Structure 1
């Protein structure tokens, strides 16, 4: 029997976001898959103070979005993202005192936190330039599809900054390994798509002309799957970094027991028994 959520509880914790109106990038949602497209192609899609803040706020709102189940993050015009805009961000930062600099670095870090804590899996579609904060956005996504012509660089050392930016020293070693992450962050060098795939940064490489289609198809498969279970997988992948094995096993036992209470679990069993494909409803 389907249980009905109390309207007052739903009002405070479930909000539609498919019709969100973005100001500093493109947003569209079809079939519960949202597309975030960085859309300043004439500058290779750099980030501004405004787009950082809007992205942070959007990913925080996605925690409550019942009509979005997966996200594709991409750039317009053959490039992903060139990082923070040199003139709109880097220049002004030089003249700021410490409190305002910390305001900025905390804002950028809060964007990564919001990406990791939103329940929807994020698939980054990376083509062309993927540098600086752009590389961080790709890193903070759950999966990364790339192209052979993509060029990914954590540029911070090349502009006099440490590689420890927006969680890079915590997250990148878990993706590519400690030694490779150290080389990448110390050198600031650019990795082509094939090398980045060998290192494990990209889940797979595809041709540029089908990149968005392939990323969207995978995101759609996630959106059509058991949304609650996928959200728990994402949460456990994130939180178990800081757990010992016994704690992780105990946490996963609780998470899996919760999934066994969902209607999707019952749908899957009945579909299997009937030799049919399950239709997941996300609850």
Structure 2
């Protein structure tokens, strides 16, 4: 990035420490760990907000080129904490309830808007808002024992939470999404792989290594190109085919102006592997 544009447009996460989850940077991969294993890693008001703010900040971070989200202790995330979220929600006014549901939706928006591909590493319980975080990720690695449940109807709510009715059908199809959102039942690992919810399965003890390894592979690719791919995958949901073809023509022409495109050409001519730098 040109030095004149760095102010306000480039940030570093060097020294960053999260308060309500853990953050670790492994090379160009950022690792988020939901770390309340004694309660299967539920979310709180504070962790929702902090996750939202981190994903927003990642839009300005260039040294992180892929993200992995996992849970500690053999489970991904059990959703909103019953005592710290569900209980207080029953006492809130309508304006406060709307402020909360908008905040949770803003987390999904931030995940979709950040340029880095996000991989969810899912073992064990993945329920409620945890299932939404998995759904909102770009890629998902599960295990045979993972149990993903969009269980909102089981607590008297609608299945249309945090974008589920828009995003989930695009992953597994309308009929299968309807099944999960009406019933709130658990989707097992093998079924989730067959349905396309999971991209891959791994053994529980190899899940993190497989997910970080995949993220590391992605991080070695053309960062600007990956960011453009993610933008187009999201943006084209609301386009017709002709509009999408035109948008992709413009996007590809922009990518052809990057140094990574030129590096790939020169590496090909030299019969070498290109070293992408994201510019």
Q: Same fold (TM over 0.5)?
A: yes
- Deviation for aligned residue 1:47: 0.2
2:85 aligned residue (89, 98, 108)? 89
- Deviation for aligned residue 1:133: 0.2
1:99-248 map, 5 Å: 99-248=95-244
Aligned to 1:63: 59
- Deviation for aligned residue 1:8: 3.3
Are residues 1:32 and 2:28 paired?
yes
Instruction: Report runs of 4+ in structure 1 exceeding 6 Å deviation.
Output: none
- Deviation for aligned residue 1:254: 0.5
* TM-score (ref. length: structure 2): 0.99
Q: Could you tell me whether the CA contact under 8 Å between 1:18 and 1:34 is conserved in 2?
A: no
2:246 aligned residue (247, 250, 255)? 250
- Deviation for aligned residue 1:9: 1.1
> Number of aligned pairs?
279
Structure 2: give runs of 5+ residues left out of the alignment: none
- Deviation for aligned residue 1:169: 0.1
Q: Could you tell me whether the CA contact under 8 Å between 1:19 and 1:29 is conserved in 2?
A: no
Aligned to 1:49: 45
Q: Could you tell me whether the CA contact under 8 Å between 1:19 and 1:28 is conserved in 2?
A: no
Counterparts in 2 of 1:70 and 1:18: CA distance versus 1, 3 Å:
farther
RMSD: 0.7
Q: Could you tell me whether the CA contact under 8 Å between 1:18 and 1:68 is conserved in 2?
A: no
* TM-score (ref. length: structure 1): 0.98
Partners of 1:139 and 1:241 in 2: CA distance:
16
- SS of residue paired to 2:31: strand
